[in-house]
Amino acid sequence: MKNLILSLVVVVAGVFSMNAQDKKMIKKATKTIALEQTTGEFTQKQLTVKAGTYVFEINNNAVGHDVGFVLVKKGEDISNPENHIKTAYVTKPVANGTKGMSQATTLAKGEYVYFCPLNPTATDNILTVK
């Protein structure tokens, strides 16, 4: 019985160790794309990055209310939430004067459109992934 318990402890410890190691590897491989919103617009209208995994950091610079972030593959219907890249959403609305983060989002080569439905910003901001 002691051997069974000891074996289970070793297995569970190994699983937690792998998860922590996987998280470190993911964090190391993830880059940040910082975007700033002011009233009615993103200050960065065009960005170019390499394919990879990114976290979006959204800065609410004195908009006066909460802001958000939506990313859609260019050419898709942006009004259809089914086309939104959900991991790119900020994890909660970004309050005035603060920053918010998305989950890690893997971007393949192509063009993407980004906008804020809460601030209303233009829908012609382009993120090019090479």
Q: What are the sequence ranges of the domains in the chain?
A: 30-129
- For the stretch 82-119, pLDDT in tens is 999 999 999 999 999 999 999 999 999 999 999 999 99
- Spatial contact of 58 and 100, defined as CB atoms under 8 Å apart: yes
Q: What is the pLDDT of residues 9-58, one digit of tens each?
A: 333 334 344 455 444 444 556 899 999 999 999 999 999 999 999 999 99
Residue 78: both structure tokens together: 């942006």
Homologous superfamily (CATH) for 30-129: Cupredoxins -  blue copper proteins (2.60.40.420)
Alpha carbon distance 28, 23 (integer Å)? 8
Q: Can you tell me the distance from the alpha carbon of 110 to that of 105, in angstroms, rounded to the nearest whole number?
A: 14
pTM for the model stands at 0.78
Indicate the burial class of 46 (C-beta count within 10 angstroms; 0-12, 13-18, 19 or more). exposed
Spatial contact of 107 and 33, defined as CB atoms under 8 Å apart: no
